Amino acid sequence: MLAFKHLVARTAQFLVRSDRCRKSTRLFRPLQQVLNFSLASGFVVTFNDDENQEDEVKTKVNIAEPQEYSYTFKLQQAANSAVDSSILVLSSSFHTFQFAHQKYVSLLGSAIKALLTSIEVGPVMVERLGIEEHISQLQSEIFQQKQQISDSLYVYNESTKLLNQAANISFLVGNEISSGLASTHLHNVQQEV
């Protein structure tokens, strides 16, 4: 049907643009009948003024699908979704842990610099410059950062368990590719930690 519509549209464009095809020629009458038939049949013919533009099919494509999927297929799809979600959770928890660790290292570096400065300047200058207050503030920030590292490490460990379980379930329902992907991702992240 689309091929016929395309043929009619191209023929109509040819008739409109062609100087050779007039009412006096023999081709005009049969082509006019085809166009009349196509228009009477409910086809919509659009004329495209730009010859360089390609005709686009702007209709919804219907894909044949079964009424119901099997339970195995549904389990495989659910396991695949579980693996994808678990990978996202693991990646997010890993990045959170990595960020907390980098901030902790930065705070430790600042504390070491402050301690070295206090040793170099002596006890009298430490009080004048407020280095002692700065060091105590850094101590409290380091303590808070240690707690954040501990929390993010707990979430990371739980997310590795989640991904491991999702990979096992995916393998059990016959989705070996998804299971292998999950195991590989888990191994790579554990190597980085």
What are the structural domains, with CATH classification, of the chain? 2-40 (no CATH), 72-192 (1.20.58)
Q: Is 93 exposed, middle or buried (0-12, 13-18, 19+ CB in 10 A)?
A: buried
In this prediction the pTM is: 0.59
- Angle among Cα 39, 45, 51 to the nearest 5 degrees reads 150
Tokens describing residue 158: 């739980």
Most confident of 5-9, 22-26, 72-76, 106-110: 106-110
- pLDDT tens-place string over residues 140-170: 999 999 999 999 999 999 999 999 999 999 9
Mean pLDDT of the chain: 78
